[in-house]
């Protein structure tokens, strides 16, 4: 093979590799798809709130831009879950960058949201893309009703996905069967 032909072949290989690499999608934040009830049940706090303001804050011990958070000032309308974790929530926090699972909420028109999240050791509430964060107006009537009672009552009714079962475990345990029968009889919300 001549040098010219070898160089041409090398160039084609580089072009093909370059094109293939451009197709690779890199995500910094990824969440497992979940039903709203699963998100409700796994959250420490679930509230309905209006966003009244926002500002960028950073922890006192860090100057890194990646540690900055958006502090949303909220007016809590109703608490659905987390009565034992917080009484009066005035702020929720989320990372500035969506690649770190931060969420962008509309603070200009005092929009209403359903927010779920977790509490930090200092009592602050953290929300992110993997939590239940939805405009209140986008929720169905059924979802709004389920927030008041059925989602909480159905938390014990969640089933483990068969995908995550141990290969030796092919049938439901006796306890799982009893729970599912209880849930079916009472028309609880069940999540696969």
CA 65 to chain centre: 22
Q: Answer yes or no: is 29 a known binding residue.
A: yes
Query: Do 134 and 46 contact (CB within 8 A), yes or no?
Result: no
Give tens-digit pLDDT for 124-136. Answer: 999 999 999 999 9
Query: Do 158 and 191 contact (CB within 8 A), yes or no?
Result: yes
- How buried is 49 (Cβ within 10 angstroms: 0-12 exposed, 13-18 middle, 19+ buried)? buried
* Torsion angle of the four alpha carbons 37, 38, 39, 42, in this order, in degrees rounded to the nearest 10: 120
Give tens-digit pLDDT for 83-105. Answer: 888 888 999 999 999 999 999 99
36-152 classified as CATH 3.30.1360.120: no
Confidence (pTM): 0.69
CATH 2.40.50.120 placement within the chain: 36-152
């Amino acid at each position: 093979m001549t040098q010219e032909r070898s160089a041409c072949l090398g160039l084609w290989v580089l072009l093909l590799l370059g094109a293939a690499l451009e197709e690779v999608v890199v995500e910094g934040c990824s969440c497992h798809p979940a039903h709203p009830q699963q998100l409700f049940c796994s959250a420490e706090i679930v509230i309905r709130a209006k966003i009244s303001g926002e500002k960028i804050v950073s922890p006192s011990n860090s100057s890194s831009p990646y540690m900055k958070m958006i502090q949303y000032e909220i007016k809590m309308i109703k608490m659905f879950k987390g009565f034992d974790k917080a009484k009066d929530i005035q702020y929720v926090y989320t990372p500035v960058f969506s690649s770190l699972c931060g969420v962008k909420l509309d603070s200009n028109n005092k929009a209403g949201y359903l927010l779920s999240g977790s509490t930090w050791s200092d009592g602050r509430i953290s929300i992110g893309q993997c939590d239940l964060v939805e405009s209140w107006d986008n929720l169905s009537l059924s979802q709004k009703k389920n927030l008041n009672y059925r989602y909480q009552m159905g938390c014990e009714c969640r089933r483990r996905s068969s995908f995550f079962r141990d290969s030796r475990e092919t049938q439901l345990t006796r306890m799982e069967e009893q729970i599912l029968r209880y849930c079916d009889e009472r028309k609880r919300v069940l999540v696969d």
